[in-house]
Structure formats: C-alpha cells, structure tokens
C-alpha cells in the first residue's frame, strides 16, 4: 500500500547544462508539472557539485559535455548521488551513463513525450526509494531500537528474515532492489545501497563500487586494471570491479593492516 504522505511530496529538481537554451527548455517543461519544484540551474560542473551538496535535490538533469568538469566528473566528486537523468547530444554516452548508474538519459533534441516519460519514471523511482526507506526504518524500530550487532533483519517477498551479517558475502544493486549473496543462496531485498550500508559494520563491509558492497573476509585477491580501476576476486572466484572512486575505502582498511594498496600491487 502506498503512503499518501510520501507520494504527495514534491520532487526537487536541479538542471545542469552549459547551454542556456537547453536549460530554458527543460525549465519550461518542468514548470508544467506541479509535483516538481525546480530549486536551481547550473551552467558548469563545478557549480553543480557545490549546489548538489548544498541543496541535495532529489533529481538532477545533468549534461555530459561541459567545460572543465563534465557530467561524469560531477558524479565522481559526490559522496551521495541524487537520481540522475543524463542529457546529451551524443548517443555514444548512453552506455557510460547507465554504467554510472543514471536512471535514464535524454538524447538532444528530445520530444516532449520522451521528456515526460522519463520524468514520470524518475518521480516514481524517487518516491519508491523514500517509501522503502521509511518502511524499513519503521520495521527496525518495531523490532528493537538496538538489535544485536551481528543481526541483520531484511524484508524479502513479504517475509522478515533474520540473518547473521557474517552470512553475507557481497551485495549488488539490482534496479530498485539490492541482491544479497549469502553463504547459501541469494535474496532480493527492497532497500537502497546506502540504507543497507548504514546497517553494516564498515570495518567488515566495504563499498567497492556504487552498486557493490563486499565482505572483506570473502576477498581472496585484488588485481590492478587499466585506468586505475581494480578487479576484486572472491574466494569462490567471483570477480567484481572496484572503481577508483571507492578505492579509498579499501585503502583505509588495508592501512589498518599496514598495507598500502597502490604500493603492494
């Protein structure tokens, strides 16, 4: 059942594009939707980073090609990402956009119908995330204000499951869900990556990619790749990619063991 309070919340949006005409067109389209509150516009990546950190919009229409800092550079500079819709005149950016975990992209010049389809999808995505986080918070409060540290309670397919955190090998984002890879089997859970990460011990579970969290006890090997990224090999030979953006988290854990990731490999 939907929460009316959540689904009636306005969506805060920010437009980032170095072309004034492009910003003006998106602005005019957004103003026709009473559910969207446009909180600002930015003409370059540097001001976009500052504005997103300051205003925390729920939705950002982000141009890819901008001087100095491009759209991908904006994402790399942020710790917490809003819902992203990339806007570009180049279809070759479609795949990198999805690899950067954008919800969707608009290819210039786009039709009104395409814009409003993307906007509707973004609004539903944002509200489902808010509703999911609210429900999970309420469930956790009902069970116990201070659950045992080893206990991880998740909701999957209408059931409440009580797991030991040590059972979790790694976690991957799966569209609007997350998938827990356990010692035995997998679970599809309606929760955000940030939500599950906040309930895990950061000395044990490290985020190696926007869409991947791994239990360090399951790591067998870390291999360097081109471009500064790494391949993380688990004990069952599963191979995961670690992006440069998240390398600092593993670096921090390794330094506690007097190991420097860059120098060791």
Q: Looking at residue 132, what is its pLDDT?
A: 60
Please report the DSSP string for 43-103 in residue order. Answer: SSHHHHHHHHHHH--SEEEEES--SSS-HHHHHHH-SS--EEEEEES-GGGHHHHHHTT-S
Question: What parts of the chain have a pLDDT lower than 70?
Answer: 1-8, 91-101, 130-149, 249-265
| pTM summary value | 0.49
Q: Looking at residue 253, what is its pLDDT?
A: 62
**CA angle, residues 207, 249, 211, in degrees to nearest 5:** 20
Q: Looking at residue 93, what is its pLDDT?
A: 56
Q: Looking at residue 181, what is its pLDDT?
A: 96
pLDDT digits (tens, 9 = 90+) for 186-227: 999 988 998 899 888 888 898 989 899 999 999 998 888 877
Ordered by where they begin, the domains of the chain are 4-135 (3.40.50.2300), 151-264 (2.40.50.1020)
Q: Looking at residue 144, what is its pLDDT?
A: 47
Alpha helices in the chain (DSSP H): 4-7, 20-30, 45-55, 71-77, 94-99, 112-143, 193-197, 247-255, 261-264
pLDDT digits (tens, 9 = 90+) for 21-45: 999 999 999 999 999 999 999 999 9
Name 163's bridge partners.
152
User: How far apart (Å, rounded) are the C-alpha atoms in residues 226 and 172?
Assistant: 23
């Amino acid at each position: 059942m939907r929460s009316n309070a959540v689904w009636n919340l306005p969506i805060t949006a920010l437009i980032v594009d170095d072309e004034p005409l492009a910003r003006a067109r998106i602005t005019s389209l957004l103003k026709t939707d009473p559910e969207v509150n446009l909180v600002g516009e930015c003409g370059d990546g540097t001001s976009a980073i500052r504005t997103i950190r300051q205003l925390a919009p729920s939705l950002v229409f982000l141009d890819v090609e901008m001087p100095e800092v491009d759209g991908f550079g904006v994402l790399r500079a942020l710790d917490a990402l809003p819902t992203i819709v990339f806007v570009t005149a180049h279809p070759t950016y479609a795949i990198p956009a999805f690899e950067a975990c954008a919800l969707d992209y608009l290819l210039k010049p786009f039709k009104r119908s395409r814009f409003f389809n993307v906007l509707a999808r973004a609004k539903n995505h944002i509200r489902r995330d808010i509703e999911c986080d609210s429900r999970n918070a309420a469930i956790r409060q009902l069970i116990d204000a201070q659950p045992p540290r080893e206990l991880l309670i998740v909701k999957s397919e209408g059931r409440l499951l009580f797991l030991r955190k040590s059972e979790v090998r790694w976690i991957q984002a799966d569209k609007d869900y997350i998938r827990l890879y356990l010692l035995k089997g997998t679970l599809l859970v309606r929760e955000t990556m940030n939500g599950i990460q906040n309930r895990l011990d950061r000395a044990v579970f490290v985020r190696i990619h926007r869409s991947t969290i791994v239990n360090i006890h399951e790591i067998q090997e870390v291999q360097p790749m081109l471009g500064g990224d790494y391949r993380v090999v688990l004990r069952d030979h599963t191979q995961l990619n670690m992006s440069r953006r998240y390398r600092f988290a593993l670096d921090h854990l390794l330094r506690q063991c007097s190991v420097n990731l860059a120098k060791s490999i």
